[in-house]
Structure 1
Amino acid sequence: MPSSVSVCIPTYRRPDLVCEAVRSALEQGYPNLEVWVSDDSPDDLTEKALADWIANQKVRYVRNKPALRQARNVNQLFHLATGDLLILLHDDDLLVPGAIAKLAACFEADPSISAAFGKQYWMDHQGRVDLSASLALNAKYRRVAARAGRQSCPMESALVAQFPNDGFMVKTAIARQVGYRDRAEVGSACDLDFGLRLAAASEAFYFLDEYTASYRATDESITATQNYTHLTFDLLRRVSLPRELEPVRLVQLQKYATPAVNCWLSLGDRLSALQVYCSAGYGWRNRLSLKGLAQGALLLCPPALSRRLVAPLRGLRDLLSSSLPSPSLARKC
């Protein structure tokens, strides 16, 4: 008999999108499946949107009063799940048809793995898939054929974000054991933090070289990405790693260093911005670039002026980036 699977969907004020997410799970045709929705919304619009599924017991629904916020909401779902395996699915993302059966088969083939995941389609807010952006998204996060199969170094998989923020399948017991940490501990970098700690508690992950989920790039997700890069940088800097992964850490820090400085300056925390700027993760090549010199100048400006200049400079950077052929890709928490 196939393994029992729980699809866990935390949601907040997205009744239309969460219905799409639920439908993508129910239409899998998987024989041993339950779908949980944990709702932090302040109104009953989501409950009404899901009413028929709830009445037919196709969806198990819980309304949180007061709201639990992201980490506690996810942890509640981990503990409500009765399946041997679970999938965490964001309320604006989708499962690809057949994904559950394909991911569950990875655990049957290799019971030693803790988690399995596949490639993600990139889609816009209206759900339109962009294949070229999808290829770029997966290449960026090492979800390519050459890396398919058992990931014997799960920490590297989590460190480079090959392990995705959602759409993955994980053993329920280890998901409960690791759990999400709240904002007081990791800020908004909670998905990355979970992936890193899951990796530390795991023997291996499994990457399936097939599309299993669709990631929706909304305005909210892009804004969230811009707003917590400083927390991601700090988390990557602090995480304990084996020596052989230090070069990988350095590469990842260099990706986040420039936006992390901008975030700290926007928040008025010049000391933290300066610490990032002077760190090995920023690097001399970056400091001597046009961007690096501009950020150095911002650090020398009076605080009020530097805060006012960050947004226009970021807008100029985005304008220049938009003229390049590569798609705009965002990660969300």
Structure 2
Amino acid sequence: MKVSVCIPAYKNPAFLQRALQSLVLQQFSNWELIITDDSPDDSVQAVVQEYNDRLPIRYFKNTPAHGMPANWNTAYDKATGEYIKILHDDDWLETPLALQKMADALDAHPDCDFVFSAYRNQFLATGRTQDVHCSAFHQKLLQEDPVNLFQTNFIGPPSVIMHRNRPPYRYDLRTRWVVDIDFYMEVLRNNPRFVYIDEILVNVGIGEEQITQDCFRNREVEIPENYYLLQKRGVKALNNIYVYDFFWRNLRNLEIRSAADLQVSRLAVPIPPTVLQMVRRQRWLPLPVLRMGVVSKIYMTLSYFFRKRA
């Protein structure tokens, strides 16, 4: 088996049907479809039954539900393919050649474990679309050091990737907000080589109930996960100006004005002295001034050069 397409499903039968229909159209033949179902009802299973004769489906009902991202790992654990292609149930493939092109890229680059493509955001409530490509500059940053993903996730959501099926490549159950970039950093830490396909191969459905909407600007989520991820990658990453800039912006956007503001209930790791220094320096400016882009960027750069080294 060349490719295992893994769909961790949860209570989205209409969206799942769209994803499955995009798989029906695939011209690639050497693949299996793993669906692990966390739904409390049989709605997903009913859709799966409609496609049993058209797709190579292996369906598993999780009882009790495993939750996110444990359900993602459940699908991975059942995959037998040489490569894994995760596809969330509200996303779908753009072209019938999507699986073929990703698998061909890994075949052509046996020294790489990881491939990703350009994608199209589909805003489900409004119908607006947004094409997303990884610039040459961001590709260079990724080649230099995957911790540069702290700056922004310039790979994209998990549905845009395919990678070799290796046991270490699993999602960290302690994360939600940073689960994707943590995974990418881990894969690229094991093997820094990757392939980027500058063609839109995946549509990413964006709706009101997505995890990112639930977690955005939420101190109880962002603070513990960001500092947990920093601890995993090593606090010396703060000596990288892009990582430093990320934490500077994060403090500003969450309106952190004192060390006490960082002490949220889920925080289980110490705050680095470099970050505490940022907090003290940001407090010297009123928030409305600090939110001015040019002012913040100049002030951040000065703070970086006179920082307490991690």
**Which TM-score tier does this pair reach, normalised by the shorter chain?**
0.7 to 0.9
Aligned partner (choices 8, 26, 34) of residue 10 of structure 1: 8
User: Larger deviation: 201-210 or 234-243?
Assistant: 234-243
* 1:14 to partner: Cα distance: 0.8
For 2:207 and 2:67, locate their aligned partners in 1 and report how far apart those are by CA, in whole Å: 20
Tell me, yes or no, if the aligned pair for 1:112 and 1:203 is still in contact at 8 Å. Answer: no
* 1:230 to partner: Cα distance: 2.2
* 1:172 to partner: Cα distance: 0.9
Q: Aligned residue for 1:112?
A: 111
Computed over aligned residues only, the root mean square deviation of the Cα atoms, in angstroms, reads 3.6
For 2:176 and 2:94, locate their aligned partners in 1 and report how far apart those are by CA, in whole Å: 30
For 1:286 and 1:190, locate their aligned partners in 2 and report how far apart those are by CA, in whole Å: 30
* 1:214 to partner: Cα distance: 1.4
Pairing of 1:231-250 with structure 2 (within 5 A): 231-240=224-233, 246-250=240-244
* 1:171 to partner: Cα distance: 0.3
Pairing of 1:153-164 with structure 2 (within 5 A): 153=144, 155-156=146-147, 158-159=149-150, 160-164=152-156
- Residue 143 of structure 2 aligns with an amino acid whose one-letter code is S
Q: Aligned residue for 2:30?
A: 32
Tell me, yes or no, if the aligned pair for 2:9 and 2:38 is still in contact at 8 Å. Answer: yes
Tell me, yes or no, if the aligned pair for 1:124 and 1:218 is still in contact at 8 Å. Answer: yes
Relative distance call for 1:112 and 1:281 in structure 2 (3 A) is farther
* 1:188 to partner: Cα distance: 4.3
* 1:285 to partner: Cα distance: 5.5
* 1:287 to partner: Cα distance: 5.9
Q: Aligned residue for 1:212?
A: 201
Tell me, yes or no, if the aligned pair for 1:229 and 1:259 is still in contact at 8 Å. Answer: no
For 1:116 and 1:35, locate their aligned partners in 2 and report how far apart those are by CA, in whole Å: 19
Tell me, yes or no, if the aligned pair for 1:99 and 1:212 is still in contact at 8 Å. Answer: yes
Relative distance call for 1:260 and 1:234 in structure 2 (3 A) is farther
Aligned partner (choices 216, 223, 231) of residue 230 of structure 1: 223
Aligned partner (choices 166, 171, 177) of residue 180 of structure 1: 171
Q: Which runs of 5+ in 1 are unaligned?
A: 295-333
The TM-score, its normalising length taken from structure 2, stands at 0.75
- Residue 117 of structure 2 aligns with an amino acid whose one-letter code is G
Aligned-partner SS, 1:13 = coil
Tell me, yes or no, if the aligned pair for 1:34 and 1:58 is still in contact at 8 Å. Answer: yes
Pairing of 1:293-304 with structure 2 (within 5 A): none
For 2:262 and 2:251, locate their aligned partners in 1 and report how far apart those are by CA, in whole Å: 14
Q: Aligned residue for 1:328?
A: none
Q: Deviations over 1:55-110 (max 9, x none)?
A: 55532211101111123211121121121111111111112212212212221221
Pairing of 1:257-276 with structure 2 (within 5 A): 257-260=251-254
Q: Aligned residue for 1:100?
A: 99
Q: Aligned residue for 1:165?
A: 157
For 1:64 and 1:103, locate their aligned partners in 2 and report how far apart those are by CA, in whole Å: 29
- Residue 201 of structure 1 aligns with an amino acid whose one-letter code is N
Q: Aligned residue for 1:50?
A: 48
Relative distance call for 1:153 and 1:82 in structure 2 (3 A) is farther
For 1:189 and 1:147, locate their aligned partners in 2 and report how far apart those are by CA, in whole Å: 18
* 1:17 to partner: Cα distance: 0.8
Q: Deviations over 1:182-220 (max 9, x none)?
A: 13xx35432222222112111312221111211222111
Q: Percent identity?
A: 21
For 2:32 and 2:250, locate their aligned partners in 1 and report how far apart those are by CA, in whole Å: 38
Tell me, yes or no, if the aligned pair for 1:86 and 1:169 is still in contact at 8 Å. Answer: yes
User: Larger deviation: 121-130 or 209-218?
Assistant: 121-130
Pairs aligned (count): 278
Q: Aligned residue for 1:82?
A: 80
Aligned partner (choices 203, 209, 215) of residue 192 of structure 2: 203
Q: Compare the two structures and name the one with the higher helix fraction.
A: 1
- Residue 9 of structure 2 aligns with an amino acid whose one-letter code is T
Q: Which runs of 5+ in 2 are unaligned?
A: 292-310
Aligned-partner SS, 1:207 = strand
Tell me, yes or no, if the aligned pair for 1:118 and 1:210 is still in contact at 8 Å. Answer: yes
